[in-house]
């Protein structure tokens, strides 16, 4: 059956996306507003997290408890998130309950109460989430890597900074909500057992009179540092490496994706085989293709004993450099099988599809169909990936280490 994807942008700038999945009895939604951490004022890291947390503490005519009970009554399995450019909410429920659930979230986006007596409770939740990240040295290393590799403010950590979280005021939360929770730039995506005309009409009823708010440009500061050691009293060392790649919208994206998949696409991939299995250097090693709207990168991570950290870094960087020499067909064949399994499973999940089409719209201003993605994967060949790698070899590495001793970036990659 041909995949149907519907799109409609309302006069106030809000975009509605929908993918019917008629074999399901469920429906899922994803709401994304332009309220991520890059929109925070300087020195107020965590304002986005605090704002999202406060929106869940009463909206419309419901107080915090009534809000939770209303969603529980509808059986909505739900979540919220803050990323670089966007903040948002997601949920899945029985198809018959989708429209009532969207009605509740219309109050979240448009009529959050932001009650003053809930501010300290929201602050504690944000601080606990931050503490959980700070207790994980691997995550700390990767956050430092993003901060170093991306131009400011794109490297900010979404959880914020302790000093800011401890002092954010209700007035700041209210101002952030009023500026960032707006129709222009907001995307609502739904997937599952849905009726497109009905969904479109209901979303227009719920959001059609929502007023636009002027957008403010994001001012970037170029990065100036490519090496950093974070002292950490431990028997382990955590290594994080990044290099520039291409964004999702680039025509060669799937070539770059395939190359990284050969590096880190399962237990037979190069990094696992060369760094862990053959040499026994580390506990874990991985690489992933990451994309912002206008730039892409490859992010790598490994953790190892302090005694073997330098050798681990040497071998990891050596494998990245060696990738430029090309891949072999059998490596790609294994990767394609894994990717297609993932695509099939994604087609069976309304929540996965709702999230994917929202992500596509933000990154591409359109939605890729599953057939389009499958065709792009099928078209990958060792020759096409090697041609891409010849034009775009891994180089100019950003390196962060977290552990008892700093490491050296040696040889041709230094």
pLDDT in tens, 133-162: 888 999 999 999 999 999 999 999 999 999
Identify whether residues 303 and 172 lie together within a single domain: no
Closest CA to 19 of 37, 4, 35, 38: 4
- Asked whether residue 197 is assigned to any structural domain, the reply reads yes
- Whether 217 maps to a domain, the answer reads no
For residue 16, what are its two tokens? 């509605």
Q: Model-level pTM? A: 0.93
Contacts of residue 277, Cβ cutoff 8 Å, sequence gap at least 6: none
* CA 335 to each of CA 87, 114, 294, 342: distance values in angstroms, whole numbers, following the listed order: 32, 47, 26, 11
Asked if pLDDT for residue 82 goes beyond 90, the answer is: yes
pLDDT recorded at residue 3 = 78
Tally of domains in the chain? 2
Q: Do 239 and 291 belong to one domain?
A: yes
Is 203 in the same domain as 231?
Answer: no
Q: Give yes or no: residues 160 and 283 share one domain.
A: no
Chain segment 113-131, per-residue pLDDT in tens: 999 999 999 999 999 999 9
The Cα–Cα gap between 297 and 287 comes to: 10
Looking at 174, 207, 240, which one is the last position of a domain?
Answer: 207
Q: Alpha-carbon distance 317 to 298, whole Å?
A: 13
As a whole-number percent, the residues of the chain with pLDDT over 90 amount to: 82
170 and 21 assigned to the same domain? yes
| pLDDT tens digits, one per residue of 264-274 | 877 778 888 88
Of 173, 207, 241, which one is at a domain's C-terminal end?
A: 207
- With respect to residue 222, please indicate whether it lies within any of the assigned structural domains: no
How far apart, in whole angstroms, are the C-alpha atoms of residue 20 and residue 126? 36
Residue 113 to residue 198: CA distance in whole angstroms: 29
Distance CA 316, CA 228 (A): 17
Task: Look at residue 27 and tell me whether its pLDDT is greater than 90.
Answer: yes
Domain encompassing residue 337: 227-408
Q: Quick check: is 355 in a domain?
A: yes
Look at residue 412 in the predicted model and tell me its pLDDT: 56
In a domain, 21, yes or no: yes
Query: Residues 67-91: what's their mean pLDDT?
Result: 97
Residue 270 half-sphere exposure toward CB, CA atoms < 13 A: 24
Confidence of residue 167 (pLDDT cuts 50, 70, 90): very high
What is the model's pLDDT at position 411?
A: 67
Query: What's the token pair of residue 100?
Result: 């009532």
Q: What is the DSSP letter of 312?
A: H
Which of these three, 141, 172, 207, is where a domain ends? Answer: 207
Asked whether residue 219 is domain-assigned, the answer is: no
Residues 200-226 pLDDT 10s: 999 999 999 999 999 988 999 988 899
* Per-residue confidence (pLDDT) for residue 35, from 0 to 100: 96
Structure confidence at residue 349 (pLDDT): 86
Nearest to 283 by CA among 137, 114, 115: 137
203 with 242, same domain: the answer is no
Q: Are 40 and 207 in contact (CB under 8 A)?
A: no
| Mean pLDDT to the nearest integer, 55-74 | 97
- Let me know whether 145 and 184 are in one domain: yes
Q: Helix, strand or coil for residue 26?
A: strand
Whole-angstrom distance, CA of residue 335 vs CA of residue 337: 5
Bridge-based pairing of strands 187-192 and 15-20 is: parallel
The answer on 322 and 197 residing in a single domain is no
d(CA 113, CA 107): 9
Reply yes or no on whether the pLDDT at 345 is more than 70.
no
| CATH code for the domain of 265 | 3.30.830.10
The Cα–Cα gap between 11 and 13 comes to 5
Q: Are residues 181 and 251 in the same domain?
A: no
- Tell me how far apart the alpha carbons of residues 402 and 411 are, in angstroms, rounded to a whole number: 21
74 in the same domain as 144: yes
Is residue 81 predicted with pLDDT exceeding 90? yes
Burial class (CB in 10 A: 0-12, 13-18, 19+), 126: buried
Mark whether 169 and 313 lie in a shared domain: no
In a domain, 378, yes or no: yes
Is 403 within the bounds of a domain?
yes
Nearest CA among 240, 236, 226 for reference residue 405: 236
């Amino acid at each position: 059956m041909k995949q149907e994807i519907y799109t409609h942008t309302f006069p106030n700038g809000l975009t509605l996306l929908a993918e019917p999945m008629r074999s399901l009895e469920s429906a899922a939604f994803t709401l994304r507003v332009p309220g991520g951490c890059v929109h925070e004022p300087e020195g107020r890291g965590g304002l986005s997290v605090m704002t999202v947390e406060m929106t869940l503490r009463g909206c419309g005519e419901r107080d915090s408890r009534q809000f939770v009970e209303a969603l529980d009554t509808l059986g909505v399995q739900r979540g919220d998130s803050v990323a670089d450019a966007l903040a948002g909410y997601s949920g899945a429920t029985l198809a018959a309950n989708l429209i009532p659930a969207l009605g509740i979230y219309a109050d979240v986006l448009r009529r959050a109460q932001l009650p003053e007596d809930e501010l300290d409770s929201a602050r504690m939740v944000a601080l606990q989430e931050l503490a959980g990240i700070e207790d994980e040295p691997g995550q700390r290393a990767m956050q430092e890597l993003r901060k170093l590799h991306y131009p400011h403010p794109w490297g900010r950590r979404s959880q914020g900074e302790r000093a800011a979280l401890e002092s954010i005021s209700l007035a700041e939360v209210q101002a952030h909500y009023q500026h960032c929770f707006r129709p222009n730039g907001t995307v609502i995506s739904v997937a599952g057992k849905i009726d497109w005309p009905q969904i479109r009409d209901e979303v227009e009823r719920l959001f059609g009179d929502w007023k636009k708010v002027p957008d403010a440009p994001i001012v970037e500061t170029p990065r100036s540092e490519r090496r950093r050691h974070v002292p950490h009293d431990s028997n382990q060392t955590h290594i994080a490496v990044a290099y520039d790649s291409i964004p999702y919208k680039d025509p060669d994206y799937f070539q770059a994706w395939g190359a990284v998949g050969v590096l880190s696409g399962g237990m037979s991939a190069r990094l696992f085989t060369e760094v862990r299995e053959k040499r026994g250097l580390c506990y874990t090693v991985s690489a992933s293709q990451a994309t912002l709207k206008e730039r892409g990168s490859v992010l790598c991570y490994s953790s190892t004993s302090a005694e073997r950290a330098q050798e681990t870094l040497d071998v990891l960087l050596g494998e990245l450099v060696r990738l430029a020499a090309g891949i072999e067909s059998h490596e790609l064949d294994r990767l394609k099988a894994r990717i297609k399994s993932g695509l099939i499973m994604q087609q069976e999940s309304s929540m996965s599809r709702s999230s994917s089409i929202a992500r596509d719209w933000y990154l591409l201003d359109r939605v890729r169909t599953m057939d389009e993605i499958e065709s792009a994967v099928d078209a990958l060949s060792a020759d096409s990936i090697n041609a891409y790698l010849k034009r775009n070899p891994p180089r100019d590495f950003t390196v962060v280490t977290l552990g008892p001793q700093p490491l050296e970036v040696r040889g041709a990659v230094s």
